[in-house]
Structure 1
Amino acid sequence: MRYCNIIVFIYGLYALSIACNAQETPGDIKIGFAVGFGSEFENRNYTYTNQYVKLQFMKTIIATNRLSYDLVVQPEYNMGTHQLLNLYFVKPEEENYIEKRERYTKLKSCNEYIFNLGLLMRYSLSKKASMYVLGSVGPMYIDTATERLSKGFAFSDVLALGLTLKINKMIFDVRPNFRHVSNAGLQVSNSGYNTKNIDFGFLFFL
Protein backbone atom coordinates (compact mmCIF):
# COMPACT_ATOMS: atom_id res chain seq x y z
CA MET A 1 0.00 0.00 0.00
CA ARG A 2 1.88 3.03 -1.27
CA TYR A 3 -0.48 5.43 0.50
CA CYS A 4 0.57 4.01 3.86
CA ASN A 5 4.24 4.72 3.03
CA ILE A 6 3.38 8.25 1.91
CA ILE A 7 1.39 9.03 5.08
CA VAL A 8 4.13 7.78 7.39
CA PHE A 9 6.77 9.64 5.35
CA ILE A 10 4.82 12.90 5.77
CA TYR A 11 4.53 12.11 9.48
CA GLY A 12 8.32 11.76 9.60
CA LEU A 13 8.79 15.14 7.93
CA TYR A 14 6.48 16.62 10.54
CA ALA A 15 8.68 15.11 13.25
CA LEU A 16 11.74 16.74 11.74
CA SER A 17 10.00 20.10 11.55
CA ILE A 18 9.13 19.86 15.24
CA ALA A 19 12.75 19.06 16.03
CA CYS A 20 14.01 22.03 14.01
CA ASN A 21 11.51 24.52 15.45
CA ALA A 22 11.52 23.37 19.06
CA GLN A 23 12.61 26.14 21.39
CA GLU A 24 13.23 23.81 24.30
CA THR A 25 15.14 20.57 24.17
CA PRO A 26 14.76 18.87 27.56
CA GLY A 27 17.59 16.45 26.78
CA ASP A 28 15.49 13.51 27.93
CA ILE A 29 17.19 10.45 26.43
CA LYS A 30 16.00 6.89 26.97
CA ILE A 31 17.36 3.57 25.75
CA GLY A 32 15.91 0.11 26.03
CA PHE A 33 14.63 -2.98 24.29
CA ALA A 34 11.36 -4.71 23.50
CA VAL A 35 10.15 -8.13 22.46
CA GLY A 36 6.93 -8.87 20.67
CA PHE A 37 4.86 -11.20 18.56
CA GLY A 38 1.99 -11.03 16.13
CA SER A 39 0.08 -12.59 13.24
CA GLU A 40 -1.76 -11.69 10.06
CA PHE A 41 -5.27 -10.29 9.98
CA GLU A 42 -7.70 -13.11 9.18
CA ASN A 43 -7.85 -13.82 5.44
CA ARG A 44 -8.11 -16.77 3.04
CA ASN A 45 -4.88 -16.21 1.10
CA TYR A 46 -1.99 -16.70 3.52
CA THR A 47 -0.79 -17.15 7.10
CA TYR A 48 1.97 -15.17 8.74
CA THR A 49 3.21 -15.24 12.33
CA ASN A 50 6.16 -13.36 13.75
CA GLN A 51 8.33 -12.88 16.81
CA TYR A 52 10.77 -10.03 17.13
CA VAL A 53 13.24 -8.19 19.31
CA LYS A 54 14.14 -4.53 18.95
CA LEU A 55 16.45 -1.96 20.50
CA GLN A 56 14.96 1.44 21.29
CA PHE A 57 16.54 4.89 21.42
CA MET A 58 14.29 7.87 22.27
CA LYS A 59 15.01 11.57 22.65
CA THR A 60 12.44 14.10 23.79
CA ILE A 61 12.52 17.08 21.44
CA ILE A 62 9.78 19.19 23.01
CA ALA A 63 7.69 18.93 26.15
CA THR A 64 4.82 20.81 27.79
CA ASN A 65 2.94 20.18 31.01
CA ARG A 66 1.13 17.07 29.70
CA LEU A 67 2.34 16.51 26.13
CA SER A 68 5.78 15.56 24.86
CA TYR A 69 7.26 14.49 21.51
CA ASP A 70 10.05 11.94 21.11
CA LEU A 71 12.16 11.03 18.11
CA VAL A 72 12.52 7.23 18.05
CA VAL A 73 15.15 4.95 16.48
CA GLN A 74 14.39 1.20 16.48
CA PRO A 75 16.68 -1.45 14.95
CA GLU A 76 14.74 -4.73 14.82
CA TYR A 77 15.19 -8.40 14.05
CA ASN A 78 11.97 -10.18 13.07
CA MET A 79 11.55 -13.97 12.74
CA GLY A 80 8.49 -14.90 10.68
CA THR A 81 6.72 -17.96 9.33
CA HIS A 82 4.67 -17.71 6.15
CA GLN A 83 2.46 -20.03 4.10
CA LEU A 84 0.31 -19.57 1.02
CA LEU A 85 -3.22 -20.92 1.59
CA ASN A 86 -4.92 -19.95 -1.67
CA LEU A 87 -2.77 -21.49 -4.42
CA TYR A 88 -4.80 -19.61 -7.06
CA PHE A 89 -3.23 -16.40 -5.76
CA VAL A 90 -0.33 -17.39 -8.05
CA LYS A 91 -1.87 -16.90 -11.48
CA PRO A 92 -1.18 -19.06 -14.58
CA GLU A 93 0.26 -16.07 -16.45
CA GLU A 94 3.20 -16.03 -14.03
CA GLU A 95 6.34 -17.80 -15.19
CA ASN A 96 6.74 -21.29 -13.63
CA TYR A 97 3.44 -20.86 -11.81
CA ILE A 98 3.06 -24.60 -11.00
CA GLU A 99 6.46 -24.74 -9.33
CA LYS A 100 5.74 -21.50 -7.47
CA ARG A 101 2.43 -22.83 -6.17
CA GLU A 102 4.17 -25.93 -4.81
CA ARG A 103 6.96 -23.90 -3.23
CA TYR A 104 4.84 -21.16 -1.70
CA THR A 105 2.20 -23.47 -0.18
CA LYS A 106 4.89 -25.01 2.05
CA LEU A 107 5.39 -23.42 5.46
CA LYS A 108 8.59 -21.39 5.38
CA SER A 109 10.65 -19.24 7.74
CA CYS A 110 11.82 -15.75 6.89
CA ASN A 111 14.16 -13.33 8.64
CA GLU A 112 13.69 -9.58 8.49
CA TYR A 113 16.27 -6.92 9.41
CA ILE A 114 14.63 -3.55 10.00
CA PHE A 115 15.72 0.00 10.86
CA ASN A 116 12.70 2.12 11.82
CA LEU A 117 12.57 5.86 12.52
CA GLY A 118 9.52 7.43 14.10
CA LEU A 119 7.78 10.14 16.06
CA LEU A 120 6.10 9.43 19.38
CA MET A 121 3.51 11.77 20.92
CA ARG A 122 3.02 11.13 24.65
CA TYR A 123 0.28 12.29 27.04
CA SER A 124 1.00 12.09 30.78
CA LEU A 125 -1.80 10.58 32.82
CA SER A 126 0.09 11.03 36.09
CA LYS A 127 3.67 11.35 37.33
CA LYS A 128 4.18 7.64 36.72
CA ALA A 129 1.82 6.68 33.87
CA SER A 130 1.42 7.88 30.31
CA MET A 131 -0.15 6.88 27.02
CA TYR A 132 1.15 7.57 23.51
CA VAL A 133 0.77 7.15 19.78
CA LEU A 134 3.77 6.20 17.64
CA GLY A 135 4.21 6.26 13.87
CA SER A 136 7.39 4.88 12.29
CA VAL A 137 8.75 3.82 8.93
CA GLY A 138 12.02 2.33 7.81
CA PRO A 139 13.93 0.17 5.36
CA MET A 140 14.14 -3.58 5.83
CA TYR A 141 15.71 -6.62 4.23
CA ILE A 142 13.81 -9.92 3.99
CA ASP A 143 15.84 -13.05 3.20
CA THR A 144 13.03 -15.24 1.79
CA ALA A 145 10.76 -14.67 -1.20
CA THR A 146 7.03 -15.37 -0.91
CA GLU A 147 4.12 -14.98 -3.30
CA ARG A 148 3.38 -11.64 -1.61
CA LEU A 149 6.82 -10.09 -1.29
CA SER A 150 10.08 -10.49 -3.18
CA LYS A 151 13.32 -11.26 -1.39
CA GLY A 152 15.40 -8.19 -0.64
CA PHE A 153 14.67 -4.55 0.09
CA ALA A 154 11.28 -3.43 1.45
CA PHE A 155 9.70 -1.01 3.93
CA SER A 156 8.17 -1.61 7.35
CA ASP A 157 5.47 0.87 8.47
CA VAL A 158 4.14 0.78 12.03
CA LEU A 159 1.30 2.58 13.80
CA ALA A 160 1.12 1.92 17.54
CA LEU A 161 -0.69 2.89 20.72
CA GLY A 162 1.06 2.39 24.01
CA LEU A 163 0.92 2.62 27.79
CA THR A 164 3.93 3.19 30.05
CA LEU A 165 4.53 2.94 33.78
CA LYS A 166 7.56 4.63 35.34
CA ILE A 167 9.26 2.88 38.26
CA ASN A 168 12.23 4.88 39.56
CA LYS A 169 14.52 5.28 36.52
CA MET A 170 12.92 2.47 34.54
CA ILE A 171 9.85 2.54 32.29
CA PHE A 172 7.71 -0.52 31.54
CA ASP A 173 6.07 -0.28 28.12
CA VAL A 174 3.12 -2.15 26.53
CA ARG A 175 2.49 -1.38 22.84
CA PRO A 176 -0.23 -2.90 20.64
CA ASN A 177 0.54 -2.05 17.03
CA PHE A 178 -0.33 -2.49 13.37
CA ARG A 179 2.42 -3.18 10.80
CA HIS A 180 2.36 -3.04 7.01
CA VAL A 181 5.26 -4.40 4.93
CA SER A 182 5.73 -3.84 1.19
CA ASN A 183 8.47 -2.74 -1.21
CA ALA A 184 6.65 0.27 -2.75
CA GLY A 185 6.65 -1.37 -6.17
CA LEU A 186 10.44 -1.63 -6.40
CA GLN A 187 10.17 -5.38 -7.13
CA VAL A 188 7.55 -7.51 -8.89
CA SER A 189 5.94 -9.22 -5.88
CA ASN A 190 4.55 -6.40 -3.75
CA SER A 191 1.20 -7.44 -2.27
CA GLY A 192 2.88 -7.24 1.13
CA TYR A 193 1.24 -8.24 4.36
CA ASN A 194 -0.45 -6.67 7.35
CA THR A 195 -0.05 -7.87 10.92
CA LYS A 196 -1.40 -7.09 14.38
CA ASN A 197 1.28 -7.23 17.07
CA ILE A 198 2.04 -6.41 20.67
CA ASP A 199 5.36 -5.31 22.23
CA PHE A 200 6.54 -5.55 25.81
CA GLY A 201 9.56 -3.43 26.62
CA PHE A 202 11.74 -1.64 29.13
CA LEU A 203 13.33 1.79 28.84
CA PHE A 204 16.01 3.40 31.02
CA PHE A 205 16.82 7.10 31.45
CA LEU A 206 20.36 8.21 30.69
Structure 2
Amino acid sequence: MIKKLLVFSIFFFVFMQIKGQQKNEKFRVGIGYGFGSEFNNRNYTFTNHFYKAQLYYQFKESQNFRYEILVQPEINFGKHQLLNLYFVKPETPNFEQKRAEYLKLKDVHEYVLNIGFIIRKPISKYYSFYLLGSVGPLITDTETERMSKGFAFADVFAFGVTADCDPFRFDVRPSVRHVSNAGLGSSNAGYNTKNIEFGISCRL
Protein backbone atom coordinates (compact mmCIF):
# COMPACT_ATOMS: atom_id res chain seq x y z
CA MET A 1 0.00 0.00 0.00
CA ILE A 2 2.79 2.44 0.94
CA LYS A 3 4.76 1.62 -2.22
CA LYS A 4 1.69 2.21 -4.39
CA LEU A 5 1.06 5.55 -2.64
CA LEU A 6 4.65 6.65 -3.21
CA VAL A 7 4.63 5.62 -6.89
CA PHE A 8 1.32 7.40 -7.47
CA SER A 9 2.59 10.53 -5.73
CA ILE A 10 5.78 10.66 -7.82
CA PHE A 11 3.82 10.30 -11.07
CA PHE A 12 1.38 12.97 -9.87
CA PHE A 13 4.17 15.43 -9.08
CA VAL A 14 5.87 14.81 -12.43
CA PHE A 15 2.58 15.25 -14.28
CA MET A 16 1.84 18.52 -12.50
CA GLN A 17 5.29 19.83 -13.34
CA ILE A 18 5.01 18.93 -17.04
CA LYS A 19 1.51 20.32 -17.29
CA GLY A 20 2.29 23.66 -15.65
CA GLN A 21 2.94 26.45 -18.13
CA GLN A 22 4.03 29.01 -15.56
CA LYS A 23 5.69 28.77 -12.17
CA ASN A 24 3.40 29.36 -9.23
CA GLU A 25 5.52 30.06 -6.16
CA LYS A 26 2.56 30.45 -3.84
CA PHE A 27 1.05 26.93 -3.95
CA ARG A 28 2.57 23.53 -3.22
CA VAL A 29 0.97 20.09 -2.90
CA GLY A 30 2.51 17.18 -1.06
CA ILE A 31 2.20 14.08 1.07
CA GLY A 32 3.54 13.24 4.51
CA TYR A 33 4.09 10.22 6.71
CA GLY A 34 4.82 10.19 10.43
CA PHE A 35 4.83 8.11 13.57
CA GLY A 36 5.11 8.60 17.31
CA SER A 37 4.13 7.57 20.81
CA GLU A 38 2.89 8.99 24.09
CA PHE A 39 5.15 10.82 26.50
CA ASN A 40 6.21 8.54 29.37
CA ASN A 41 2.99 7.84 31.21
CA ARG A 42 2.06 5.21 33.80
CA ASN A 43 -1.64 5.35 32.94
CA TYR A 44 -1.67 4.30 29.28
CA THR A 45 0.25 3.48 26.13
CA PHE A 46 -0.41 5.05 22.76
CA THR A 47 1.56 4.53 19.55
CA ASN A 48 0.52 5.89 16.17
CA HIS A 49 1.44 6.35 12.54
CA PHE A 50 -0.30 8.59 10.04
CA TYR A 51 -0.58 9.73 6.43
CA LYS A 52 -1.28 13.29 5.29
CA ALA A 53 -2.17 15.05 2.06
CA GLN A 54 -0.82 18.60 2.12
CA LEU A 55 -1.70 21.91 0.46
CA TYR A 56 0.60 24.89 1.16
CA TYR A 57 -0.26 28.49 0.33
CA GLN A 58 2.28 31.28 0.86
CA PHE A 59 0.28 34.44 1.41
CA LYS A 60 3.01 36.86 2.52
CA GLU A 61 6.76 37.34 2.31
CA SER A 62 8.91 39.85 4.19
CA GLN A 63 12.62 40.51 4.11
CA ASN A 64 13.37 37.67 6.56
CA PHE A 65 10.31 35.44 6.75
CA ARG A 66 7.63 33.75 4.69
CA TYR A 67 4.11 33.14 5.97
CA GLU A 68 2.03 30.17 4.85
CA ILE A 69 -1.29 28.42 5.40
CA LEU A 70 -1.18 24.62 5.45
CA VAL A 71 -4.25 22.40 5.01
CA GLN A 72 -3.68 18.71 5.83
CA PRO A 73 -6.31 15.96 5.65
CA GLU A 74 -4.96 13.08 7.76
CA ILE A 75 -5.64 9.44 8.59
CA ASN A 76 -4.10 8.40 11.91
CA PHE A 77 -3.74 4.76 12.99
CA GLY A 78 -3.21 4.35 16.73
CA LYS A 79 -2.86 1.56 19.27
CA HIS A 80 -3.94 2.29 22.82
CA GLN A 81 -4.00 0.36 26.07
CA LEU A 82 -4.95 1.28 29.63
CA LEU A 83 -2.18 0.43 32.11
CA ASN A 84 -3.55 1.85 35.36
CA LEU A 85 -6.92 0.23 36.02
CA TYR A 86 -7.57 2.68 38.88
CA PHE A 87 -7.79 5.46 36.26
CA VAL A 88 -11.40 4.21 35.87
CA LYS A 89 -12.88 5.17 39.22
CA PRO A 90 -15.53 3.18 41.16
CA GLU A 91 -18.06 6.00 40.75
CA THR A 92 -18.02 5.33 36.99
CA PRO A 93 -21.12 3.33 35.99
CA ASN A 94 -20.22 -0.35 35.38
CA PHE A 95 -16.62 0.47 36.32
CA GLU A 96 -15.48 -3.17 36.64
CA GLN A 97 -16.75 -4.04 33.18
CA LYS A 98 -15.20 -0.89 31.74
CA ARG A 99 -11.86 -1.60 33.42
CA ALA A 100 -11.78 -5.05 31.84
CA GLU A 101 -12.66 -3.61 28.43
CA TYR A 102 -10.23 -0.70 28.54
CA LEU A 103 -7.30 -2.91 29.64
CA LYS A 104 -7.39 -4.58 26.22
CA LEU A 105 -5.12 -3.31 23.45
CA LYS A 106 -7.28 -1.28 21.05
CA ASP A 107 -6.93 -0.01 17.49
CA VAL A 108 -7.90 3.67 17.23
CA HIS A 109 -8.54 5.30 13.85
CA GLU A 110 -8.75 9.07 13.53
CA TYR A 111 -9.87 11.08 10.50
CA VAL A 112 -8.54 14.63 10.79
CA LEU A 113 -8.56 17.95 8.95
CA ASN A 114 -5.58 20.01 10.18
CA ILE A 115 -5.40 23.72 9.36
CA GLY A 116 -2.08 25.32 10.23
CA PHE A 117 -0.04 28.51 10.13
CA ILE A 118 3.67 28.45 9.21
CA ILE A 119 6.39 31.03 9.83
CA ARG A 120 9.35 30.07 7.61
CA LYS A 121 12.90 31.41 7.75
CA PRO A 122 15.07 30.76 4.66
CA ILE A 123 18.70 30.13 5.63
CA SER A 124 20.09 29.68 2.11
CA LYS A 125 18.89 29.25 -1.45
CA TYR A 126 18.03 25.61 -0.77
CA TYR A 127 17.29 25.31 2.97
CA SER A 128 14.81 26.77 5.42
CA PHE A 129 13.39 26.06 8.85
CA TYR A 130 9.95 26.89 10.20
CA LEU A 131 7.51 26.82 13.09
CA LEU A 132 4.04 25.34 12.60
CA GLY A 133 0.93 25.55 14.74
CA SER A 134 -2.23 23.77 13.64
CA VAL A 135 -5.64 22.80 14.93
CA GLY A 136 -8.42 20.82 13.37
CA PRO A 137 -11.51 18.70 13.89
CA LEU A 138 -11.34 14.92 13.88
CA ILE A 139 -13.55 11.86 14.15
CA THR A 140 -12.31 8.92 16.22
CA ASP A 141 -13.91 5.50 15.84
CA THR A 142 -13.02 4.00 19.22
CA GLU A 143 -14.03 4.79 22.79
CA THR A 144 -11.32 4.54 25.45
CA GLU A 145 -11.04 5.51 29.11
CA ARG A 146 -9.36 8.75 27.97
CA MET A 147 -11.68 9.92 25.22
CA SER A 148 -15.18 9.31 23.95
CA LYS A 149 -15.87 8.01 20.47
CA GLY A 150 -16.81 10.62 17.87
CA PHE A 151 -15.93 14.29 17.47
CA ALA A 152 -12.71 15.80 18.87
CA PHE A 153 -9.86 18.17 18.04
CA ALA A 154 -6.15 17.74 17.28
CA ASP A 155 -3.65 20.46 18.23
CA VAL A 156 -0.11 20.26 16.82
CA PHE A 157 3.03 22.30 17.38
CA ALA A 158 6.04 21.51 15.18
CA PHE A 159 9.50 22.62 14.17
CA GLY A 160 10.58 21.71 10.65
CA VAL A 161 13.55 21.78 8.30
CA THR A 162 13.21 21.69 4.51
CA ALA A 163 15.55 21.19 1.56
CA ASP A 164 14.57 22.37 -1.94
CA CYS A 165 15.45 20.50 -5.12
CA ASP A 166 13.27 22.38 -7.60
CA PRO A 167 10.40 21.66 -8.07
CA PHE A 168 10.44 19.36 -5.03
CA ARG A 169 10.83 20.15 -1.36
CA PHE A 170 11.83 17.56 1.25
CA ASP A 171 10.63 18.05 4.80
CA VAL A 172 11.55 16.70 8.27
CA ARG A 173 9.22 17.77 11.07
CA PRO A 174 9.42 16.81 14.78
CA SER A 175 6.10 17.62 16.47
CA VAL A 176 4.01 17.33 19.61
CA ARG A 177 0.29 16.57 19.38
CA HIS A 178 -2.63 16.82 21.78
CA VAL A 179 -6.01 15.26 21.06
CA SER A 180 -9.13 15.93 23.14
CA ASN A 181 -12.80 16.75 22.63
CA ALA A 182 -13.00 20.06 24.57
CA GLY A 183 -15.50 18.56 26.99
CA LEU A 184 -17.99 17.61 24.28
CA GLY A 185 -17.85 13.95 25.32
CA SER A 186 -18.05 12.15 28.64
CA SER A 187 -14.31 11.34 28.62
CA ASN A 188 -11.83 14.08 27.76
CA ALA A 189 -8.39 13.26 29.20
CA GLY A 190 -7.10 12.91 25.64
CA TYR A 191 -3.71 11.81 24.31
CA ASN A 192 -0.36 13.59 24.17
CA THR A 193 2.21 12.27 21.71
CA LYS A 194 5.63 13.15 20.35
CA ASN A 195 6.03 12.49 16.63
CA ILE A 196 8.40 12.72 13.71
CA GLU A 197 7.11 13.43 10.19
CA PHE A 198 8.66 13.17 6.73
CA GLY A 199 7.19 14.85 3.67
CA ILE A 200 7.69 15.73 0.04
CA SER A 201 5.90 18.51 -1.80
CA CYS A 202 5.92 19.96 -5.30
CA ARG A 203 5.47 23.50 -6.53
CA LEU A 204 2.42 23.86 -8.79
Same fold by TM-score greater than 0.5: yes
Give the corresponding residue for 1:159: 157
Give the corresponding residue for 1:182: 180
- Of 197, 200, 204, the match for 1:199: 197
Query: 1:80-159 residue pairs with structure 2 within 5 A?
Result: 80-159=78-157
TM-superposed deviation, 1:168: 1.7
Please state whether the residue corresponding to 2:57 is helix, strand or coil.
strand
TM-superposed deviation, 1:91: 0.2
In the aligned structure 1, how far is the partner of 2:139 from the partner of 2:166?
Answer: 37
> TM-score, normalised on structure 2?
0.87
In the aligned structure 2, how far is the partner of 1:65 from the partner of 1:167?
Answer: 22
Query: 1:25-64 residue pairs with structure 2 within 5 A?
Result: 28-64=26-62
Post-superposition Cα deviations, 1:12-43, rounded to whole Å, max 9, x if no partner, equal xxxxxxxxxxxxxx851000000000000001
Please provide the CA RMSD for this pair.
0.9
TM-superposed deviation, 1:64: 1.9
TM-superposed deviation, 1:151: 0.2
> TM-score, normalised on structure 1?
0.87
Give the corresponding residue for 2:12: none
Count of residues paired in the alignment = 181
In the aligned structure 2, how far is the partner of 1:175 from the partner of 1:144?
Answer: 27
Q: Is the 8 A contact 1:27 1:61 kept in 2?
A: no
- Unaligned 5+ segments in structure 1 are 1-25
In the aligned structure 1, how far is the partner of 2:101 from the partner of 2:159?
Answer: 37
In the aligned structure 2, how far is the partner of 1:66 from the partner of 1:60?
Answer: 14
In the aligned structure 2, how far is the partner of 1:205 from the partner of 1:150?
Answer: 39
Q: Is the 8 A contact 2:51 2:74 kept in 1?
A: yes
Counterpart residue type for residue 87 of structure 1: L
- Unaligned 5+ segments in structure 2 are 1-23
Post-superposition Cα deviations, 1:93-139, rounded to whole Å, max 9, x if no partner, equal 00010000000001010100000101000000101000000000000
Relative to structure 1, the CA distance from residue 104 to residue 195 in structure 2 (aligned partners, 3 Å threshold; closer, same or farther) is same
Q: Is the 8 A contact 2:25 2:203 kept in 1?
A: no
In the aligned structure 2, how far is the partner of 1:37 from the partner of 1:118?
Answer: 19
Query: 1:4-19 residue pairs with structure 2 within 5 A?
Result: none
In the aligned structure 2, how far is the partner of 1:56 from the partner of 1:198?
Answer: 16
In the aligned structure 1, how far is the partner of 2:165 from the partner of 2:40?
Answer: 37
Counterpart residue type for residue 136 of structure 2: G
